[in-house]
Amino acid sequence: MSKSTKISSSINASLLNSLYRARKNIEKNKDIYMDTEHELLCESYKKYKEAYIKYEELSKQLENDKIKISIKYEELSKQLDNDKIKIEYNTFKIDKHILSDSHDKPDEIIYKEYTLEYEVFYNKYNKKFINNLYVLTNPRDYEEWVEEQNRFIKSLTPEEIYTLRCHTQNGDIIINYFIRNNMKIDKDIDIVGGKWRKQPILIIRKDHLNSNRNYILFYYQIKEYLYKRHMELSKLSRIELEEYIKKNYKDFDWNSILLLYIRDINNIFKKCPEVKKTLVI
């Protein structure tokens, strides 16, 4: 048929009438799907569109709630910042730990002044946010606690300070494994803290503890352990004994050594001043 050919009005009317009847039959019989699978696919798509619309609405709602929460948080932060008491307490910390070269001479512990800064909340903060505990704070209580800790630390011997410092440098990793493993070290002491370590866990670099030479964890407990089993080692100087320990520590009975450490650190804890008043930090 050429482009110039025109459909007669009667044929056109007949075609439109047929199309109308076909549409009505489709609507009446709901015969709009090619097959059952096509119908399920269309129904699934419809549910997906409905769910997506709900998701969009929920996202907008959550975003609005997030903005509201953020604004409230900032307002509360400003309010609480004004409700803080900022206090400084004078104390000290270890500046240098000079390890002695001799068994007869104690280590030298050199302290330097240090300022502790606390932000203590007003009582109304505690009543509002810790109301189940009914905690009330008094700045003087903190000062008394710091002063007691100062006196306690200054009363410790260099050997006790050494033992305490072991716990801050890998010693806690070893002793915690020992306790959790029913008081047993059942593997190489160097991998107790993980196989990733590139250096012996027992030896702490001197710069980590502001010392004049590398630090041996549990030195005094190892020394007691060795002297009980090999009295001839007591003839070695401290430097010689430290070298012996570095070369042979993997073969030691670590269960016995760590039991000595638990005994010693417990004795230190028994002397530690009690917290007499409730403190919120």
For the chain, domain boundaries: 84-271
Confidence of residue 153 (pLDDT cuts 50, 70, 90): very high
pTM of the model: 0.65
The chain-wide mean pLDDT, for the chain, equals: 82
According to the model, what pLDDT value does residue 129 have? Answer: 56
Q: What are phi and psi of 180, to 5 degrees?
A: -70, -20
pLDDT value for 271: 92
Residues 222-237 have a mean pLDDT of 95
Q: What is the pLDDT of residue 167?
A: 86
Summarised one tens digit per residue, pLDDT across range 129-141 is 554 444 566 778 8
**Other beta carbons less than 10 A from residue 25's beta carbon:** 10
Question: Among the listed ranges 62-66, 79-83, 144-148, 263-267, which one has the minimum average pLDDT value?
Answer: 79-83
Q: What pLDDT shows up at residue 46?
A: 78
pLDDT value of residue 94: 92
Residue 225 has pLDDT above 60, yes or no: yes
Task: Give how far Cα 176 sits from Cα of 188, 192, 268, 272, 274, Å.
Answer: 15, 10, 18, 21, 24
Most confident of 18-22, 34-38, 120-124, 164-168: 164-168
Banded pLDDT at 241 (limits 50, 70, 90): very high
Question: Which pair of tokens denotes residue 240?
Answer: 């010689």
> Using CA atoms, how far apart are residues 29 and 23, in angstroms rounded to an integer?
10
Report, as an integer, the average pLDDT of 184-197.
78
pLDDT band at residue 171 using 50, 70 and 90 as cut-offs:
confident
**Structure-model confidence comparison of residues 264 and 14, the more confident one:** 264
